Amino acid sequence: MSESLIIAEALRNAAQRLRASGVADAQLVAQSILAEALGCDRTHLIVNFQQPVPDDALDACERMLRRREAGEPLQYILGRQEFFGLDFEVTPDVLIPRPETELIVEEVVRLSAGIPRPVIADIGTGSGCIAVTLARELPEATVTASDISPAAIAIARRNAERHKLADRIRFIVGDLLEPFPPSPQFDFIASNPPYVRADEMEGLQREVRDWEPHLALTDNDDGLTFFRRLFHDAPARLKAGGYLLCEMGYEQAEKVRALVDETIWDAPQMPADLQGIPRTIVLRKKKEER
Ligand SMILES: C[S@@+](CC[C@H](N)C(=O)[O-])C[C@H]1O[C@@H](n2cnc3c(N)ncnc32)[C@H](O)[C@@H]1O
């Protein structure tokens, strides 16, 4: 990029390059990158089209453009993603939070009405998006966030600190529910587990396949391993009438539902996302012991 570029030219060049390397929403991504380089928001760019771009901002823009051209997701380049109205730090150690995961938060908030001090676990917390959002939405709740990845837990903790909620969340490194003693302590166990089948991995978008942690994406098997384990292990940790909520893949609803033992759980609820696809399974532990 030349020294004398103005914002309009820098944006045009960046968008052209991104388009040429197959990036979707090239114009929007170019704006996000240039805004980040200039330390402003995208609106500022639009109203200052004729302003020159300083050298250091052009250099920063160039570094980010090369990363995006190489396939790295914009969220890792910017180091953040919004979830439920909050900004979350993200690095390649954690999955980038997705909008469909907000459904789990909405369901826990809805179901917790009438439970005075809900006790909640978020299993496989990654960036901490579910745990941190629930701590913020439910000021009386106690939240535990766990993940098998120590690097993910470090980021989840930083996100809790960023939103001044760290004193409300306990962080644990461990394998699913193993760190928790088998005693009925939780009102809610929430999880967005790795559910991509091993044979689907190759066909994923390159941004996902080559950049997001495989530990967060797949069970390296049929995609159902974590549902089997959670459905089996969660009842011992849930109070009578407590809930297990899991996100599931686009076409997994029927297979996941078939794993539910209705002698332990009430009939499952499967609320749909904005496209009408069931993406969350909500299980309620029976109130009566068998
Ligand atoms: C799909 S990501 C979900 C991350 C975050 N909760 C979200 O919704 O964006 C799954 C998470 O489960 C974690 N994980 C994978 N295997 C695990 C295991 N055996 N026990 C606990 N966490 C595990 C991964 O490290 C990853 O952070």
Best residue among 148, 173, 221 to mutate for probing ligand 1, ranked by most atoms within 8 Å of CB: 148
- Determine the atom of ligand 1 nearest the C-alpha atom of 229: 19
Are 82 and 101 a contacting pair, CB within 8 Å? Answer: no
Q: Taken in order 58, 64, 68, 73, is the CA torsion positive or negative?
A: negative
Q: 252: Cβ below 6 Å to ligand 1?
A: no
Is residue 148 in contact with ligand 1, taking CB distance under 6 Å?
Answer: yes
Query: Any long-range contacts for 70-74 (C-beta under 8 Å, 24+ apart)?
Result: 71/206, 71/207, 71/210, 71/211, 72/207, 72/211, 73/207, 73/208, 73/211, 73/212, 74/29, 74/32, 74/33
Q: Which atom of ligand 1 is nearest to the CA of 97?
A: 9
Note down pLDDT in tens along the chain; length 290 residues: 445 799 999 999 999 999 999 999 999 999 999 999 999 999 999 899 999 999 999 999 999 999 999 999 999 999 999 999 999 999 999 999 999 999 999 999 999 998 999 999 999 999 999 999 999 999 999 999 999 999 999 999 999 999 999 999 999 999 999 999 888 899 999 999 999 999 999 999 999 999 999 999 999 999 999 999 999 999 999 999 999 999 999 999 999 999 999 999 999 999 998 889 999 999 999 987 54
